[in-house]
């Protein structure tokens, strides 16, 4: 015998079904207060280990203490609006939530292997929850908007190469490309993460095999189709020891830090999720303008579009 759906929904709406059971509402960060960190791979176990980076904050990083103070005081919640939302986010085999709806709100910048390599922002619990849960967030009890740069990594490649961005709606769905834009995004992601064409093709083959979609010369077809449309900014035209990902992540994190600072000047506290920003819905228009202004400062002459989820009052 199961309780009626309406009763389960009422229990959830009244906070009588706990989305984070059996965990407490806060999670202590093992690295304490370190705002700058660097991660290394343990050569024996393959485990990624992060350690504090002991140097003063520089340039865009100076906003970190300020944004963390603002985030600490932000009234943030993600109420579960139905029993279905609870079940969608609960792993009944393990007896734990799939995504925790609470935790640390303290941001830090983490580099990969060495100072200056990468450097994205991490630490806020919202960064670890899927989009469908983020859309139901409340700030001060009010709905949010999430704004993200469209085709960010690819547009940054154009900006770094000083090549005009093609005037199309979607850079992953240009004429001649296959219908599945996720395959095109996969090609870009693996291309910027590998220093050569051959290594990228190997990574694409593995991904296709793991997904049960391998086929004769399929990796080559996907790679050649994508980079035929974006040949001018192919990361494999130049020889490098590493993929271009570290340069792109360093730049997009600097842009993110500057956007956070500009928004704070307007008394707007944003939650960064890599190349997107979550704000109270009433601040969406200002946030979109700031994002475009800051991007133009780092990549002059490069056009970028901003996607807005849940825009409006």
Report pLDDT for 73.
95
Rounded to whole angstroms, how far apart are CA atoms 100 and 57?
30
97 preceded by cis ω (within 30°)? no
Report pLDDT for 77.
94
| Per-residue model confidence as pLDDT tens for the chain (313 residues) | 566 677 566 656 666 565 555 555 444 455 668 999 999 988 888 898 999 999 999 999 999 999 999 999 999 999 998 889 888 888 888 888 999 999 999 999 999 999 999 999 999 999 999 999 999 999 999 999 999 999 999 999 999 999 999 988 889 887 777 778 889 999 999 999 898 999 999 999 999 999 998 889 999 999 999 999 999 999 987 655 567 899 999 999 999 999 999 999 999 999 999 889 999 999 999 999 999 999 999 999 898 999 998 755 4
SS3 182: helix
Plot region of 6 (φ>0 → left; ψ -120 to 50 → alpha; else → beta): alpha
Phi, psi of 196 (to 5 degrees): -135, 165
Please report which residue ranges of the chain form alpha helices under DSSP H.
5-13, 64-72, 83-88, 131-134, 152-161, 181-193, 197-210, 218-229, 245-265, 284-298
pTM listed for this prediction: 0.86
Report pLDDT for 143.
96
Rounded to whole angstroms, how far apart are CA atoms 152 and 120?
14
Report pLDDT for 54.
92
Report pLDDT for 168.
84
Report pLDDT for 175.
78
Q: Among 257, 285, 304, which residue's Cα sits nearest to residue 149? A: 304
């Amino acid at each position: 015998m199961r309780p009626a759906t309406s009763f389960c929904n009422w229990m959830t709406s009244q906070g009588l079904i706990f989305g984070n059971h059996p965990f407490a509402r806060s999670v202590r960060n093992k690295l304490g207060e370190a705002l700058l960190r660097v991660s290394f791979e343990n050569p024996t176990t393959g485990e990624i280990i992060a350690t504090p980076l002991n140097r003063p904050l520089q340039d865009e990083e100076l906003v970190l203490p300020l944004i963390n103070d603002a985030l600490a005081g932000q009234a943030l919640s993600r109420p579960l609006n139905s029993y279905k939302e609870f079940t969608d986010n609960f792993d009944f085999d393990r007896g734990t939530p799939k995504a925790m709806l609470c935790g640390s709100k303290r941001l830090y910048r983490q580099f990969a292997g060495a100072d200056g390599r990468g450097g994205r922002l991490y630490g806020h619990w919202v960064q670890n929850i899927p989009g469908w849960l983020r859309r139901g967030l409340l700030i001060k009890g009010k709905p949010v908007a999430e704004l993200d740069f469209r085709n960010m990594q690819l547009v940054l490649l154009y900006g770094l190469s000083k090549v005009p961005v093609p005037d199309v709606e979607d850079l992953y769905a240009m004429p001649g490309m296959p219908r599945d834009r996720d395959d095109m995004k996969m090609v870009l992601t693996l291309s910027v993460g590998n220093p050569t064409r051959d290594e990228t093709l190997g990574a694409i083959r593995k991904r296709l095999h793991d997904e049960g979609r391998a086929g004769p010369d399929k990796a080559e077809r996907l790679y050649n189709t994508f980079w035929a449309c974006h040949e001018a900014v192919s990361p494999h035209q130049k020889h490098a020891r590493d993929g271009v990902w570290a340069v792109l992540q360093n730049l997009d994190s600097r842009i993110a830090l500057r956007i956070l600072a500009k928004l704070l000047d307007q008394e707007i506290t944003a939650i960064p999720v890599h190349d997107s920003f979550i704000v109270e819905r009433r601040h969406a228009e200002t946030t979109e303008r700031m994002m475009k202004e800051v991007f133009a400062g780092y990549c002059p002459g490069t056009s970028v579009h901003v996607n807005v989820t849940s825009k409006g009052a």
